[in-house]
Amino acid sequence: MNTTPPRSKDPLHGMTLEAIVTALVEHFGWAELGQRIEIKCFRIDPSVASSLKFLRKTPWARAKVESLYLFMLREQARAAR
């Protein structure tokens, strides 16, 4: 009998917004992140804290960040092949 719960296939499952933003910044840097997603918190005096504050209140911006994160994961997987 298998007692381990099934793993979610959702790559965002268990990821905090902070971890997502941090990974994007490490991969793209603030300048490119601000070009890819045009929001002030990525362009003017960017920080993870200010970005989280904005993204938690702004569903459309959070959706764009999550979408870019998924794109980044696909690109990394493709490059690893």
pLDDT, tens digit, 9 for 90 and up, residues 8-66: 788 888 999 999 999 999 999 999 999 999 999 999 999 999 999 999 999 999 999 99
> Is it the case that residue 2 has pLDDT exceeding 80?
no
The answer to whether residue 25 sits within a structural domain is yes
Range of the domain at 36: 17-80
The answer to whether residue 30 sits within a structural domain is yes
Whole-angstrom distance between the N-terminal and C-terminal Cα of the chain? 35
Global pTM reads 0.87
Q: For the chain, where are the alpha helices, taking DSSP H only?
A: 17-36, 40-43, 48-57, 59-80
Comparison of pLDDT for 20 and 5, the residue scoring more: 20
| CB atoms inside a 10 Å sphere around CB 41 | 23
The answer to whether residue 74 sits within a structural domain is yes
Give the count of domains, the chain. 1
The answer to whether residue 1 sits within a structural domain is no
Residues 32 and 43 sit within 8 Å (Cβ to Cβ)? no
The answer to whether residue 9 sits within a structural domain is no
> Is it the case that residue 4 has pLDDT exceeding 90?
no
The answer to whether residue 28 sits within a structural domain is yes
